[in-house]
């Protein structure tokens, strides 16, 4: 079952349960899928890695909004963003823990022969490909900086 079918099934359940928060998040995913499928060059189909990128983008947008709402002291809007993040994250692959990420990055650093912060570009290139969908770009970047600074 593809992502779109899962979303549609979950939307039906959310409508029956009158779960507004879930419905908001699911509708956002569905809208993003439709936009991606109808964009130029998409061919009307999304590959699994494209779906993952799309979901990550939606979560990142909501996290950015959440940060802004918290700074502006708007708990009502921040709550809505948190609810939508929780719904969207259900469809993402399990995220790596900090320890798993650092272990994987240590292996990549040894593989590419990075020794200083100047080699961060080499490590980030390999790491973002290897950990696509499993770790956030900011988390990867922070961990690489920390490991190369030693």
> Domains of the chain, with CATH numbers?
3-89 (1.10.1510.10), 98-149 (1.10.10.410)
Residue 54 scores a pLDDT above 70: yes
Residue with the bigger pLDDT between 23 and 150: it is 23
User: What distance in Å separates the CA atoms of residue 84 and residue 62, rounded to the nearest whole number?
Assistant: 8
Report residue 39 CA to chain centroid gap.
21
* Average pLDDT score over residue span 25-32: 93
Residue 48 · residue 26 · CB < 8 Å? no
More confident residue, 105 or 82: 82
């Amino acid at each position: 079952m593809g992502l779109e079918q899962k979303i549609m099934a979950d939307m039906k359940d959310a409508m029956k349960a009158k779960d507004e928060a879930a419905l908001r998040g699911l509708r956002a995913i569905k809208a993003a899928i439709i936009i991606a499928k109808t964009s130029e060059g998409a061919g009307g189909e999304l590959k699994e890695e494209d779906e993952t990128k799309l979901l990550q983008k939606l979560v990142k947008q909501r996290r950015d909004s959440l940060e802004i709402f918290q700074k502006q002291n708007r708990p009502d809007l921040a709550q809505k963003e948190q609810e939508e993040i929780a719904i969207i994250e259900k469809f993402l692959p399990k995220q790596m823990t900090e320890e798993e990420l650092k272990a994987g990055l240590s292996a990549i650093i040894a593989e590419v022969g990075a020794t200083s912060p100047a080699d961060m570009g080499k490590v980030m290139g390999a790491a973002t490909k290897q950990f696509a969908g499993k770790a956030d770009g900011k988390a990867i970047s922070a961990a690489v900086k920390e490991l190369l600074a030693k």
